[in-house]
Amino acid sequence: MARQHSVLAIVLAGGEGKRLHPLTEDRCKPAVPFGGRYRIVDFVLSNLVNSGIFRIIVLTQFKSQSLIRHIQRGWQMSGRAGHFIEIVPAQMRRGPHWYRGSGDAIYQNLDILGAEPGEIICVFGADH
């Protein structure tokens, strides 16, 4: 039997969604409703969980409260050790600026990646 790798998923969910205005007037792009009770972010989260990836960090930025609420209420993991979805709001950790793109969002959160090491780190967009 093959050894299972330790996989950590980073989901970039800071999209402002200017092209979806007015849908993004009060929420970030990943939190835009889709099909009734779902949000755009549910596609990537569902794909991760259905692929057996249960260690997920979601990086947020713009108007993230409805996204945070949706994930907290709708995506409760099993409670087993190593199964989690951690939501990390933008915190300007390295300098006086918010994230300046996807790469900078990861760079500013390298300390979190170090605290949750994985043999494989996968980065996904929450709004595709």
Is 103 inside any structural domain?
yes
pLDDT tens readout for residues 44-82:
999 999 999 999 999 998 889 999 999 999 888 767 777
Measured at the alpha carbon of residue 127, what is the angle toward residues 10 and 77, in degrees to the nearest 5? 50
Model confidence at 97: pLDDT above 60: yes
Question: Do the beta carbons of residue 69 and residue 87 sit within 8 Å?
Answer: no
Q: What pTM was computed for the model? A: 0.87
User: Residue 42 has what DSSP assignment?
Assistant: H
Is 2 inside any structural domain?
no
CATH, residue 46: 3.90.550.10
Pull the structure tokens for residue 19. 């092209």
| Structural domain of 50 | 7-125
Question: Do the beta carbons of residue 100 and residue 72 sit within 8 Å?
Answer: no
Domain count, the chain: 1
pLDDT grade for 11, boundaries at 50, 70 and 90 = very high
Q: Please give the pLDDT value at position 113.
A: 79
